Structure 1
Amino acid sequence: MTSTYPAARALRPGAADPVPGGPVPGGPDTPDTPDTPLEYHLDAREAAELRAVAARFADTQPAPDQPEFYDGDHAAEELLPAGLRAFLLSYRRTESTAACLVHGFPVDDARLGPTPGHWREAIGGRAARAQELWLAMCGLALGDPFGWVTLQEGRIIQNILPIRGDERRQSGYGSESLLEFHTEDGFHPNRCDYLLLFGLRNRDRVPTVVSSVRDVRLSDHDRTVLAEERFHILPDTEHIRQLEASAPRHPALPRLYAMTDRPVPSAVLFGDRLNPYLRIDRPFMRVGPGDTEAAAALDRLMDELRRVQREIAVGPGSLLIVDNYRAVHGRRAFTPRYDGTDRWLKKLTVSRNLRRNLSGYALEHPRVIV
């Protein structure tokens, strides 16, 4: 391996890109941005190990995008290369950085075929089965993968790609508008601990933007305000839109409508005052009527997150892992071609405590929640 655990190398904003799909220069390399993502580079031997595991699981059913796959007795995560597994376990246990990267997963662009025009076209496809398996294995090393009944028909592994007609939407299917900083599914109490984005194709090197709450500079007053339950985060429209279109009588919809109409106030910063966690989704947030103090503190936090942002182009064979409690993420705008060569990522959300999902948020399978 080019860089191994525990000597995994950190990304420096402005550093040269070590491998295709690695980091893009993001911001000034200053002491104000010390929370630098770690990298792990798979070597040829480890890549061969992963290919062998993929061959072993090639015909396994259910597939990794199905919740039942994760209930099997295969212990797939134990088949990860030893160095990579140690790297992931250390990342989970230490919370050392708000994001990390793994490079070098095999991806055959020709075998993938064209980027689908819609996530529905990718359902049941086998072209990226190996990559989905490796993504699932990494997710299992970090915790328990899960999905949403409201998104992509409850698939655990989802497809992120531009969709014609959604160019301006604040979602993974948008393109021509900036996808603003957000905590993944920030409206939900059982949002993921880790967001995993696996690159299949990114010829235009469209950057994912990541900012760590550890890097922001806030006054004591703003920290106090942001730690108070004065903020409302509404469900993002994608959760509601997909379910209304596919199952307008689904019992999950009334719950989503209630979260929209009667959101529970929450804090933006929580946990340790000097080393807090973060929960934010600016396009879907509001404060109470006339609460200009909370609105101003939120605006200053957003300014700080933009100041310390890092750009990472997740290319073929690279995996970006974002700590959903330590970092927010977004995506730069780009112009889609819809010719089969557009950006295509696989997404997985992981919980450190699947038991949370049993408290009234799972209607059928505990790995598929609302």
Structure 2
Amino acid sequence: MTTHHVTDQPPATKPATAPATLQDPAPADSVLLLDPDERSALAAATQALTADPRTEPLRFCRQARHAAAAVPPRVRDRLAAFSWGTVDNGHLLIAGLPLPPHIPPTPPDNRNCVAGTTVTSRAQALLNECVGHTLAYEAEGHGWLFQDMVPSRALATSQTSQSSAAELELHTEQAFSPLLPDWISLACLRGQPDALTYLLPARELCAALTADERRALREQRWTTTVDASFLTDGHAFALGTRRGPLAILHGAEDDPFVVFDHDLMRGTSALAELLRERIQEIYQARRIGLSLRPGHMLLVDNRRAMHGRSVFTPRYDGTDRFVSRSFVTADPARTRHARPGNGRTVSAAFS
């Protein structure tokens, strides 16, 4: 595993043979460092967002779409390149987002969209709209546009974003859903050094597989159930709670897309189960680990990379890790039938 630590200084390059440590920079082509002028311009642009994302999500997103024109050109160009898919490793870490003068205490759960009240989430909204269109899911995180990713004492051992005592297993977001987001956006308000976000790009996975394994992963050999976080409110789903069979790999040979969930997916044969475990072995050996810091925003291409998260030790005293999560889609038309009133929230029934 390679663990990367990002500062607000330009990343240096180490020899390929250097051992990975917490002081290693993230890959240079995956980092965008905002300079002071860009940070100031981004903060100023957030002032145009007067709607409350909790009670006026559609108006808020329309304001964000309009205000995104004020995002500095270098930043917009980099986000456009990322959304087009020219970043080979499926993620982009942006350092230097504006932070509130006083960061709110880390809430005990994700019920109240506390992060959505901050300048950081407003800056996140502007950058999201440079990539695609911010989207919410009724069955995920209470349907908020911005979800508080915080450790919950009650969910410490669960396979959800609020766990801490259990490692969050390798997955793509909403692997069970035909309406899964194209990108995941994570903006950090408060970091925790022992909490690592893990990434495994699809290209990295394919590089470690044989040609026969890659061909087999393109066949519909796996079923999946629905994520536990979507089940907490007892929603009914049009597609039921068991989906498939599905393929894990699809798309271009030189730019593979991946759909995977080690916890929820099961193979329909002994070979398929061996391949599921083979992916896990590669992940353990080749994953990238990132420790998010305040002002960091991590964009994960949900088609081109899988992700997970390490175990960490919360204190439950208001000073724990606090990350604002949102979802972004490239094509709103793909979810139109599932968004009542052409709003920004996908109905639980269609998840």
Equivalent in 139, 146, 149 of residue 150 of structure 1: 139
TM-score by length of 2: 0.87
Give a deviation string over 1:169-215, Cα, whole Å, max 9, x none: 11110001101111011111111111111010014351101111111
Structure 2 residue aligned with 1:312: 290
Equivalent in 256, 260, 265 of residue 241 of structure 2: 260
Contact kept, 8 Å, 2:43 with 2:123, in 1: the verdict is no
Structure 2 residue aligned with 1:282: 262
Give a deviation string over 1:266-320, Cα, whole Å, max 9, x none: 10001123531100011011122xx101111121122112221011111100111
Structure 1 residue aligned with 2:108: 117
Contact kept, 8 Å, 1:67 with 1:155, in 2: the verdict is no
- The answer for unaligned runs of 5 or more in structure 1 is 1-11, 245-252
Structure 2 residue aligned with 1:159: 148
Change (3 A) 1:325 1:61: same
Equivalent in 31, 34, 38 of residue 39 of structure 1: 31
CA distance in 2, matches of 1:104, 1:35: 17
Change (3 A) 1:28 1:198: farther
Change (3 A) 1:113 1:68: same
Give the deviation of 1:115 after TM superposition: 0.6
Give the deviation of 1:220 after TM superposition: 1.6
Give the deviation of 1:133 after TM superposition: 1.1
> How many residues end up aligned between the 2 structures?
334
Change (3 A) 1:272 1:115: same
Structure 1 segment 1-370 matched on structure 2, within 5 A: 13=2, 17-19=6-8, 38-57=30-49, 60-63=50-53, 66-72=57-63, 75-97=66-88, 98-108=90-100, 111-123=102-114, 126=117, 128=118, 130-216=119-205, 217-241=208-232, 243-244=233-234, 253-255=235-237, 258-261=239-242, 263-288=243-268, 291-359=269-337, 361-369=338-346, 370=348
CA distance in 2, matches of 1:236, 1:28: 39
CA distance in 1, matches of 2:191, 2:309: 13
- The answer for unaligned runs of 5 or more in structure 2 is 20-25
Give the deviation of 1:254 after TM superposition: 2.5
For residue 282 of structure 1, give the secondary structure of its aligned residue in structure 2: coil
Change (3 A) 1:15 1:271: closer
For residue 212 of structure 2, give the secondary structure of its aligned residue in structure 1: helix
Of 113-122 and 144-153, deviating more is: 113-122
For residue 127 of structure 2, give the secondary structure of its aligned residue in structure 1: helix
TM-score by length of 1: 0.83
Measured on the aligned residues, the alpha-carbon RMSD in Å equals: 2.8
For residue 136 of structure 1, give the secondary structure of its aligned residue in structure 2: helix
Give the deviation of 1:107 after TM superposition: 1.7
Change (3 A) 1:223 1:77: same
Contact kept, 8 Å, 1:160 with 1:345, in 2: the verdict is yes
Give the deviation of 1:88 after TM superposition: 0.4
Change (3 A) 1:54 1:215: same
CA distance in 2, matches of 1:218, 1:119: 38
Q: Which amino acid aligns with 2:282?
A: E
CA distance in 1, matches of 2:156, 2:278: 28
Contact kept, 8 Å, 1:205 with 1:315, in 2: the verdict is no
Contact kept, 8 Å, 2:226 with 2:264, in 1: the verdict is yes
Contact kept, 8 Å, 1:66 with 1:156, in 2: the verdict is yes
CA distance in 1, matches of 2:211, 2:295: 42
For residue 75 of structure 1, give the secondary structure of its aligned residue in structure 2: helix
Change (3 A) 1:111 1:259: same
Q: Which amino acid aligns with 2:173?
A: E
Contact kept, 8 Å, 1:357 with 1:366, in 2: the verdict is no
CA distance in 2, matches of 1:294, 1:116: 41
Change (3 A) 1:287 1:353: same
